[in-house]
């Protein structure tokens, strides 16, 4: 399944996921979270529909300097996205994952 998730994340320009966002707004729960993380690691654009809150989120990539080792660290966080009641638009090379 991890190989399948990798291929999905590799080939898609944009990933649309339906799942449960963790409280830290950085991770998605379960198997869907694996595909989302693989896509984020590849710098892909990710939209998440959080099922419990019925809200769309968009990944936001950010970088910060680790004070302990003075290295640049990349990270991602999900921020609320879109107009209420209107979700994102699918593109030609989009992938849809989740429950």
Task: Of 53, 5, 67, 2, give the one whose Cα is nearest residue 25.
Answer: 53
* Helix and strand totals (H; E) in the chain: 2, 5
| Three-state SS at 88 | coil
Mean pLDDT of the 2-20 span? 92
Q: What is the pLDDT of residue 90?
A: 81
pLDDT for 65: 59
Number of domains in the chain: 1
pLDDT confidence band for 87 (50 / 70 / 90): low
Could you read off the pLDDT of 28-84 as tens digits, one per residue? 999 899 999 999 888 888 999 999 999 999 988 755 556 666 665 566 778 787 655
> Residue 42: what pLDDT?
87
Q: Which region, left, alpha or beta, applies to residue 77 given φ > 0 means left and ψ of -120 to 50 means alpha?
A: beta
Q: What range defines the domain where residue 8 resides?
A: 2-98
Query: What's the CA gap between 62 and 93, in Å, rounded?
Result: 24
Q: First vs last Cα of the chain: how many Å apart?
A: 15
| pLDDT given at position 63 | 57
pLDDT attached to residue 94:
92
Contact (Cβ atoms closer than 8 angstroms) between residue 2 and residue 82: no
Neighbours of 55 (CB within 10 A): 15
């Amino acid at each position: 399944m991890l190989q399948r998730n990798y291929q999905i994340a590799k080939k898609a320009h944009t990933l649309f996921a339906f799942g449960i966002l963790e409280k830290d707004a950085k991770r998605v729960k379960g198997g869907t979270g694996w595909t989302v993380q693989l896509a984020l690691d590849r710098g892909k654009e990710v939209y998440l529909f959080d099922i419990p809150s019925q809200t769309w989120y968009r990944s936001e990539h950010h970088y910060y300097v680790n004070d302990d080792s003075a290295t640049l660290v990349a990270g991602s966080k999900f921020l609320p996205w879109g107009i209420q009641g209107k979700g994102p638009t699918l593109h030609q090379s989009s992938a849809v994952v989740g429950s």
